[in-house]
């Protein structure tokens, strides 16, 4: 009886180390009980046996460090949980708020500086929106991680190069290449921001950045939903009073709120770790089968009707968006998965998702290629072709590795390593679209 009390006290002490997961505590407890039993049969009293057994387990600090090194997903938690002292999280919040206000103000500047030429302002925003807001979130994390200046030189140079290419090229106003730059520059800069976020751990920590991105996205969507309700109510309320609120809402509240929310979501991911941790894996579990079912249904419909993917531009863009979402889902569920766990139903569903996405990708690729064969290259088709090829390689090898994992041929870690080492390919592709594509197509 007394032994159980000792062990449960020990257990709650061990559990307070975040790096040691519940499963590990149970494993260690089984070990402790085995050891105590052996010692007792050698003639030791309960409490003596317990003390010896605990001592033989070794220093708990060293042990939890070792666990953290082995399980990077927990190391990440620890990295974030580090400033547990509440006074420091107070400053953290204030600094975040400062950067958020800066982001909210800076998105207003271009509009206010050229009040008469709406088209020019739009074209400026399309090219520069990521250059306006992403440095703010990067600045916040550079402060938070206490990054030395020399580590900021590389990312800073990429941001400067982005600024240069986005603004020095003589783009046709709101033409294809300008819009493509507007889509691809944020991707490139987000990945560069990842270097800052990880505070120099880019080689080992890419999975952590994927985790961050997924959770940041969830928080951002939640804030956007709440913000949508707020703005809707605001407009209606003031309309009822007889004061038109639309100009304020669309001019000030929406853009500045969207920019500031970027920072708030990033801060929330770090500050409210434990909350989202339970939510994000659940969301991926819910949506992985749904997306798999949707892809299979669309493939079945194509087979049934005999129509391939429609060659029209909107449809092709739709499919690209769909594939990117699937890839995000895949990446996030990989990052949230315990690499030690046995494969189960969710892994089978994941393979189904990847394989059906692969088939859709091949169909989209043939559609793009036949459109190119008929009508020649355009900026949009070239960008679509490139993206589909990059996705094809990623998905095909992912499918191969996941099937190998299901057949017990390879460990889950292989898949994880492949996904993380492929991330820079997206950055390179995005950079090519921003830098080379406009020149090739004469800034059309």
Interface residues with other proteins (CB under 8 A) are 23-24, 26-28, 30-31, 33-35, 56-58, 60, 62-63, 66-67, 69-71, 339-340, 342, 408, 410-414
Shortest reach from residue 75's CB to other proteins, in Å: 12
CB of 341 to other proteins, least distance (A): 9
Do residues 424 and 192 touch, judged by C-beta distance below 8 A?
no
Cα–Cα distance, 444 to 383 (Å, whole number): 14
Location of structure tokens 């949980």: 81
Q: Residue 438: which residues within 8 A CB-CB, separation 6 or more?
A: 169, 171, 177, 178, 180, 181, 379
- Measured CA to CA in angstroms, residue 140 lies from 5, 101, 118, 150 at distances of 46, 12, 31, 17
Shorter beta-carbon distance to other proteins: residue 272 or 409? 409
Toward other proteins, which CB reaches closer, 66 or 246? 66
Start-end of H helices in 198-248: 202-241, 246-248
CA 426 from centroid of its chain's CA atoms:
14
Rounded CA-CA distance 84/80 in Å is: 9
**CB-side exposure of 370: number of CA atoms within 13 Å?**
11
What minimum distance in Å lies between the beta carbon of 10 and other proteins?
A: 12
Residue with Cβ nearer other proteins (32 or 218): 32
- Residue number, 24 or 361, with CB nearest to other proteins: 24
CB of 347 to other proteins, least distance (A): 14
3-state secondary structure 8-52: HHHHHHHHCCCCCCHHHHHHHHHHHHHHHHHHHHCCCCHHHHHHH
13: tokens are: 């002490």
Q: How far is the CB of 56 from other proteins (least distance, A)?
A: 5
Q: Minimum distance between the CB of residue 60 and other proteins, rounded to whole angstroms?
A: 8
Structure tokens at 74: 């927990």
CA atoms within 13 A on the CB side of 320: 22
Instruction: With beta carbons less than 8 A apart as the criterion, state whether 391 and 327 touch.
Output: yes
The position carrying tokens 């990059």 is 390
How near is the Cβ of 30 to other proteins at its closest, in Å? Answer: 5
Could you tell me the smallest distance in angstroms from the CB atom of residue 339 to other proteins?
Answer: 5
Q: Given the complex with other proteins, which of 313 and 410 has the nearer CB atom?
A: 410
Q: 293: how many CB neighbours lie within 10 A of its CB?
A: 14
Cβ-based nearer residue to other proteins, 67 or 267: 67
Closer of 111 and 417 to other proteins (Cβ):
417
Find the helix packing angle between 254-271 and 202-241, rounded to 10°.
Answer: 140
Token readout for 220 is: 């951002």
Minimum distance from CB of 351 to other proteins (Å)? 17
Nearer to other proteins, 34 or 236 (CB): 34
């Amino acid at each position: 009886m007394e032994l159980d009390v000792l062990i449960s006290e020990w257990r709650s002490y061990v559990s307070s180390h975040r790096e040691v997961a519940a499963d590990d505590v149970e494993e260690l407890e089984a070990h402790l009980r085995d050891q105590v039993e052996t010692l007792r049969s050698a003639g030791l009293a309960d409490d003596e046996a317990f003390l010896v057994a605990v001592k033989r387990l070794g220093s708990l600090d060293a042990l939890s460090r070792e666990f953290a090194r082995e399980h990077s997903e927990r190391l990440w938690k620890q990295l974030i949980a580090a400033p547990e002292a509440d006074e420091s999280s107070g400053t953290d919040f204030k600094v975040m708020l400062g950067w958020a206000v800066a982001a909210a103000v800076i998105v207003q500047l271009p509009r206010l500086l050229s009040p008469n030429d709406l088209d020019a302002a739009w074209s400026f925003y399309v090219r520069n929106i990521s250059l306006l807001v992403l440095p703010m979130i990067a600045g916040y994390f550079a402060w938070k991680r206490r990054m030395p200046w020399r580590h900021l030189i590389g990312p800073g140079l990429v941001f400067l190069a982005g600024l240069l290419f986005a603004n020095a090229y003589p783009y046709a106003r709101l033409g294809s290449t300008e819009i493509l730059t507007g889509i691809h520059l944020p991707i490139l800069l987000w990945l560069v921001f990842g270097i800052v976020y990880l505070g120099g751990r880019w080689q080992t920590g890419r999975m952590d950045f994927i985790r961050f991105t997924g959770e940041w996205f969830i928080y951002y969507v939640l804030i956007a939903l709440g913000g949508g309700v707020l703005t809707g109510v605001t407009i209606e309320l003031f309309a009822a009073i007889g004061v038109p609120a639309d100009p304020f809402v669309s001019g000030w509240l929406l853009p500045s709120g969207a920019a500031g929310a970027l920072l708030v979501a990033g801060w929330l991911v770090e500050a409210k770790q434990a909350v989202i941790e339970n939510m994000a894996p659940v969301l991926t579990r819910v949506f992985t089968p749904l997306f798999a079912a949707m892809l299979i249904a669309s493939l079945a419909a194509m087979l049934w009707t005999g129509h391939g993917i429609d060659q029209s531009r909107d449809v092709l863009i739709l499919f690209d968006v769909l594939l990117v979402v699937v890839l995000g889902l895949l990446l996030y569920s990989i990052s949230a998965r315990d690499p030690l766990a046995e494969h189960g139903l969710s892994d089978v569903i994941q393979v189904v998702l990847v394989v059906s996405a692969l088939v859709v990708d091949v169909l989209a690729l043939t559609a793009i290629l036949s459109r190119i064969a008929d009508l020649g290259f355009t900026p949009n088709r070239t960008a679509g072709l490139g993206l589909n090829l990059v996705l094809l390689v990623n998905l095909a090898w992912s499918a191969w590795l996941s099937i190998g994992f299901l057949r017990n041929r390879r460990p889950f870690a292989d898949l994880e390593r492949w996904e993380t080492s492929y991330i820079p390919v997206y950055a390179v592709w995005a950079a090519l679209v921003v830098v080379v594509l406009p020149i090739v197509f004469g800034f059309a």
